[in-house]
Amino acid sequence: MTKEKFKTYEGVFDNFTLRTLFELSSKGHFEDLESPISIGKESNIFTALTKQGKRLIIKIYRLETCDFNRLYEYIQTDPRFLGLKKNRRKVIFAWCQREYRNLLNVRDANVPAPIPIAFKNNVLIEEFIGNQNPAPKLKDQYPQKPKEFLNQVIKIIKNLYQHNLTHGDLSAFNILNHNEKPVFIDFSHTTTKDNPRFRELFERDLKTIFNYFKKKGLKITYENLLKEIKK
Ligand SMILES: Nc1ncnc2c1ncn2[C@@H]1O[C@H](COP(=O)(O)OP(=O)(O)O)[C@@H](O)[C@H]1O
Ligand SMILES: [Mg+2]
């Protein structure tokens, strides 16, 4: 991407983020930024195109309007980030790095999730999940065969659990319905079993999924789902 092209993004991003994007682009990771597809609490999601015309996801953690106190609360007990200073940029960069590392780990475990491509500072690049358009979230597109879909979701939670991981922020917002198959996204909260908060996060994940499908009318019990995972 040329410096001139980047000038058009002045005002959209702060200068630091703009430089980070320019560096990632200069390394050849992407050529053209497209429009934002999501504005979240802490990050904005854009699609981008590579030189070859392949679509990617660019997740940009906002440096200014990001509740880094909340992020710090969560990352503080992660054994992989012990000793992290409570400094806005340091916390946000660690958060971004953690999501990248989590994506590598879960992909190694064969969990259906976006392939991580690169990260730098507050910017993460990952595989685009979708066909022409981004795959819909589970909450926006209920599966045609809910029981089968839930079984696959439980299998994924089990797989994560067997690899000593839990998603940490699992909900119908962070599961995509990609051609009727679940793909988990948003692994920034994902943590390992040696985190003292692992149990709490694991149970929260499973309860959220249980409550969602229960409300939709599936005949399930929390105990049975738990049994299935620990089997
Ligand atoms: N890899 C991806 N492929 C397609 N869509 C994505 C991808 N990652 C994120 N999205 C879309 O962007 C939204 C926000 O991304 P997410 O990582 O969940 O960030 P946050 O919830 O922190 O704002 C998702 O709900 C989804 O609609
Ligand atoms: Mg999300």
- The CATH class for the domain spanning 3-127 reads alpha beta
Q: What is the pTM of this model?
A: 0.95
Chain-centroid distance of CA 184 in Å reads 8
For ligand 1, atom 17, name the residue with the nearest CA. Answer: 186
Q: Is 78 one of the catalytic residues?
A: no
Nearest CA to 158 among 95, 216, 224?
Answer: 224
Is the Cβ atom of 106 under 6 angstroms away from ligand 1? Answer: no
Ligand number nearest CA of 44 is 1
| Token pair 């299935």: residue | 228
Q: What pLDDT is attached to residue 65?
A: 79
Of 14, 32, 78, 169, the catalytic one is 169
Name the CATH code of domain 146-230 (choices 1.10.10.10, 1.10.3720.10, 3.30.200.20, 1.10.510.10). Answer: 1.10.510.10
Tell me the CA–centroid distance for residue 174 and ligand 2, in Å.
5
* CATH 1.10.510.10 intervals, the chain: 146-230
Is the Cβ atom of 178 under 6 angstroms away from ligand 1? Answer: no
Q: What pLDDT is attached to residue 131?
A: 96
Is the Cβ atom of 141 under 6 angstroms away from ligand 1? Answer: no
Nearest CA to 23 among 94, 128, 121?
Answer: 121
Is the Cβ atom of 124 under 6 angstroms away from ligand 1? Answer: no
Is the Cβ atom of 113 under 6 angstroms away from ligand 1? Answer: no
Q: How far apart are alpha carbons 129 and 124 in whole angstroms?
A: 15
Q: How far apart are alpha carbons 122 and 117 in whole angstroms?
A: 14
Q: How far apart are alpha carbons 173 and 138 in whole angstroms?
A: 6
Q: Is 108 one of the catalytic residues?
A: no
When pLDDT is averaged across residues 59-79 and rounded to a whole number, the result is: 91
For ligand 1, atom 16, name the residue with the nearest CA. Answer: 186
Q: How far apart are alpha carbons 151 and 50 in whole angstroms?
A: 35
* CATH 3.30.200.20 intervals, the chain: 3-127
* 8-54: pLDDT as tens digits: 777 778 999 999 999 999 999 999 999 899 998 899 999 999 999 99
> What number of CA atoms fall less than 13 Å from residue 103's CA on the CB side?
23
* 87-136: pLDDT as tens digits: 999 999 999 999 999 999 999 999 999 999 999 999 999 999 999 999 99
